[in-house]
Structures are given as C-alpha cells and as structure tokens.
C-alpha cells in the first residue's frame, strides 16, 4: 500500500485520472464530430472544412494523445501501488475485456496519425472511411472501459456473485446510462474545443464555411449537454442505495454545485455561438474548456470515486483492500472473520514481525500501522491537515478509552454506509485508539498498560 501523507494517495490518482478523462473524452467526442464534418465536406463539396479538420486533428495529437499516453500508464502505475488488490480483482475478472480495449486503442492511435498525415493526399472516399473507422475505434474504447468502471461501483445484482460470468459483471444495471451519459457529455467537451479552433481560423475560412462549422459544432454541443443531463438522471436512478445516501448526505455542495454551474455555462456558450456564429471567440471558448477540468471533470471524478465507497471493486473489495464478502463463483472468501479472529496486523503479509504481536512497548506503533492499513485510503492518519485528517476528525479526544469506545460502537458495530467496518482483534482496536489519542494530544499520551 502506498501511503501519501496529507493529500492522500487517492488524490494523486484523482488528478492523474482527471487529466486522462479530459484528454480521452475530448478525443472520443472529436473523433465522431470530425467524421461527421468530413462526411459533410464530402457530400456538400466544401473542401475548406478539411482545413478545419486538420487543425483539430493536430490539436488532438498534441494534447489528447500526448497527455493521454502519459496519464494512461500513470493511472495503471498509481492504482497498482495504491490498491494492488483492487486492481488485481479487476484484472482477474476483465483481463480479456482490457485486452480488447488495448487493441482498439492501438488502432485508434495509429489511425489518428494516418488521418492527419494523409489528409489531402488520400482520395476523399478512402479518407472518409478511415475517419469513421477512427470514430468507431475511439468510441469502442469508451464502450469497454465504462463496463469496468460501472462494475467498480456495483455489479448491480446478485447474479454475478453466483455465476462469475464476465457478461453479468460487464452489462450491469449501471452500464447503459453511464455509457450514454459519458458519450453525450464528451460531445460537449469536444464541441468547446471545436469552437475555440474555429475562432482561431476565422480569417482563414470563407465566412459561409466558418458559420456552418460553428453552427454545426454548437448544435452538437447543445445536444450533448442536454442529453447528458437526461442520461445523468437515469444514471442516478441506477445507483445502489448506499451511493444515493452518499450523494445526498455526504458529498459536499462545493463539489456538486460547480458541476451544475459549468454545465449551464457550457450550454449557454453553445446557444450563443449557434445563434450568432461570428461571436465565437478563442479567448472565451478556451477558458471554458480549461474550467471544465477544474469545475466539472475533477469534482465529478471525486464524486464518482466516493460513490463506490466503502468498496473499490464489485462490492466485494473494500477501499482498504480487505475482501469483504464471499464470491462463490470465483472461489473468493471473505477475510473479515479471519481478521477479526487473528488480527489485521497478524494476517497482513507486509507488517513487520515486531508489530504482529502487540505489547505495551509497541502499542502506539502498532496502532499507527493499523491506521495506515485500515484507514489511509481515505484519511491522513498522521496529521491534522489534508485529506479528512485524523487530527481534526478526533479533535479533543485525548483519552484512549473514549476513542476506543467510539471506534467500537460506531465504526465496528454501526459504520456509516461509506466506510468499511473496522476489523481486527479487540487488542488491535485498543492499539488504534491509543495511537489516535497519542496523535491528537501531540504525542503526550502513553501507551495503555
């Protein structure tokens, strides 16, 4: 487990994933939009549209495919060190699905280069076929990844636990609304970039062609935004009960409100440019695109990650990597009874031998190890700042016995829907309580004798 003090390892993944989402959604949305524009150019004999398409393709190569190629492996690396058992569970269930996604991805990357460098050199009809192949391949990567992301939230039904069938996991209750929501909003993201590029080329294109491009891109953006909101409502209706509770009662308004505001801003911008195409401005469209990252994509990623809790994969792996329930079809057994009987420290393979048996001399250190193993996925367990810090959560609780009673009655017996049950022996929970009291009091609390 990779523990990052203060900010938390989940924040690192969130930042990398958000950059990747913006890059990938821009690319997928643009691939379909550009294929449509190429069809329009071919049928209506407007070759000037190809100039716009080439400029857009260059933007994709520079941003989406460079940053995407960096952040894609970055997600794999960070997820592997942060939650190796969670990513392992996904790989064991979806290995061939991921293999298919990689095939489509290789085809997508190859085609975007071919499209850029052959535009104007290859005959129009052949180039158009390649453009639509690129669009299909790009969307196919999203089609596949959404199934895995939806499973991470919930299989949606009990059937998968009994069958272990990959299709039962992939086509879960949440899949289609999730896919359609992302597909819709990616047109809005790609459309925002499209307006910015058109504004840059205003002097290079005939006025009629320029207006036609801006109107077309704006209509796609309006449709994507409106349908995205509709499919989001469907998406919410498929969330597990615990996720609905988290969305309504736990997710702070400072994460939810910016997303709504950003959607309205994007929609208003598209309506404005559709009504008056000559009003499209790069200095307006580009900042909107940048703000989509800060006010929509990153908050959305944080919310989506939070809605999975207390699980990280398929409602059987907790965020702290403990297997929380049986999956008969996979031969997976819950680890909770064993940990409660023998202890988290005693059963964890990477805990030093000196901490597997708790003594008065190592109680504080053992409690810290418990905190890192059980809680650091969501909390800063070593300070009073940063990600849900223990120092603030337990402020004023300097009595180990009081902390123990709280941990026992609240987190072990009646945990909130977004937190895993606190597991381990009574001795380990007392060690955790001693460490928390020690942390809150600034290190003055002695180990319980």
For residue 240, is pLDDT > 90? yes
What is the reported pLDDT for 294? 96
Answer whether residue 236 shows pLDDT above 90.
yes
Q: What is the Cα–Cα distance from 295 to 75, expressed in whole angstroms?
A: 21
Whether 233 shows a pLDDT value over 90: the answer reads: yes
What is the mean pLDDT of the segment spanning 236-247?
A: 95
The token pair at 376 is 């650091």
The token duo for 262 is 């950003």
Q: Can you give the pLDDT at residue 209?
A: 97
Contacts of 6 (CB under 8 A, 6+ apart): 380, 383, 385, 386, 387, 389
Average pLDDT, the chain: 94
pLDDT (tens digit, 9 = 90+) per residue, 23-45? 999 999 999 999 999 999 999 99
Give the pLDDT confidence of 337-350 residue by residue, as tens digits: 999 999 999 999 99
DSSP string, 150-165: HHHH--SSSHHHHH--
Asked whether residue 91 carries a pLDDT value surpassing 60, the answer given is yes
Split at pLDDT 50, 70, 90, the class of 4 is: confident
Report the pLDDT value the prediction gives residue 449, as an integer from 0 to 100: 40
In the predicted structure, residue 445 carries a pLDDT above the cut 70: no
pLDDT exceeds 90 at position 320: yes
Tell me, letter by letter, the H, E, C secondary structure of 208-254: HHHHHHHHHHHHHHHHHHHHHHHHHHHHHHCCCHHHHHHHHHCCCHH
| Per-residue model confidence (pLDDT) at position 188 | 98
Q: Are 238 and 173 in contact (CB under 8 A)?
A: yes
- Specify the pLDDT at position 158: 84
Direct distance between the N- and C-terminal alpha carbons of the chain, in angstroms, rounded to an integer: 30
Give the pLDDT of residue 446. Answer: 43
Question: At residue 241, does pLDDT exceed 80?
Answer: yes
443: pLDDT strictly greater than 80: no
Model confidence pLDDT, tens digit, residues 272-317: 999 999 999 999 999 999 999 999 999 999 999 999 999 999 999 9
Please give the structure tokens belonging to residue 351: 């805990």
Distance of CA 277 to the CA centre of its chain: 34
Quick one: what percent of the chain has pLDDT higher than 70?
A: 99
């Amino acid at each position: 487990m990779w523990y990052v003090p203060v900010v938390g390892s989940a924040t690192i993944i969130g930042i990398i994933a958000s950059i990747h989402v913006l890059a990938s959604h821009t690319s997928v949305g643009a691939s379909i939009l550009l294929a449509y524009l190429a069809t329009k150019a071919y049928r209506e004999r407007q070759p000037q549209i190809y100039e716009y398409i080439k400029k857009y393709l260059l933007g994709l190569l520079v941003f989406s495919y460079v940053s995407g190629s960096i952040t894609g492996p970055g997600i794999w690396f960070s997820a592997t060190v942060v939650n190796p058992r969670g990513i392992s569970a996904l790989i064991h269930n979806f290995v061939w699905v991921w293999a298919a996604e990689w095939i489509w991805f290789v085809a997508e990357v190859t085609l975007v280069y071919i499209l850029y460098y052959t535009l104007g050199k290859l005959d129009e009809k052949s180039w158009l076929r390649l453009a639509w192949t690129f669009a299909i391949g790009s969307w196919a990567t999203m089609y596949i990844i959404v199934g895995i992301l939806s499973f991470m939230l919930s299989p949606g039904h009990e059937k998968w636990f009994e069958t272990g069938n990959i299709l039962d996991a992939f086509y879960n209750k949440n899949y289609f609304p999730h896919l359609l929501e992302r597909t819709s909003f990616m047109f809005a993201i790609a459309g925002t970039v499209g307006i910015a590029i058109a504004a840059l080329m205003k002097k290079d294109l005939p006025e009629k062609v320029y207006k036609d491009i801006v109107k077309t891109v704006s209509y796609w953006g309006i449709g994507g935004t409106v349908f995205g909101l509709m499919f989001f409502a469907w998406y919410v209706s498929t969330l597990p009960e615990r996720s609905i509770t988290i969305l309504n009662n736990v997710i702070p308004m400072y994460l939810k409100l910016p997303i709504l505001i950003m959607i309205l801003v994007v929609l208003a911008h598209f309506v404005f440019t559709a009504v008056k195409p000559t009003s499209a401005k790069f200095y307006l469209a580009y900042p909107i695109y940048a703000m989509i990252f800060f006010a929509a994509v990153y908050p959305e990623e944080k919310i989506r990650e939070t809605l999975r809790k207390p699980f990280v994969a398929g409602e059987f792996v907790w965020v702290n990597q403990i297997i929380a329930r049986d999956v008969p079809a996979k031969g997976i057994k819950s680890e909770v009874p064993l940990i409660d009987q023998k202890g988290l420290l005693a059963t964890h393979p990477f805990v030093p031998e000196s901490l597997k048996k708790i003594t008065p001399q190592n109680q504080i250190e053992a409690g810290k190890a418990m905190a890192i193993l059980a809680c650091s996925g969501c909390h800063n367990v070593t300070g009073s700042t940063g990600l849900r810090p223990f120092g603030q959560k337990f402020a004023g609780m300097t009595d180990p016995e009081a902390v123990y009673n709280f941990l026992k009655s609240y987190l072990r017996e009646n945990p909130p829907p977004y937190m895993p049950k606190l597991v381990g022996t009574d001795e380990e929970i007392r060690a955790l309580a001693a460490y928390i009291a020690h942390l809150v009091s600034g290190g003055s609390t002695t180990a319980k004798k």
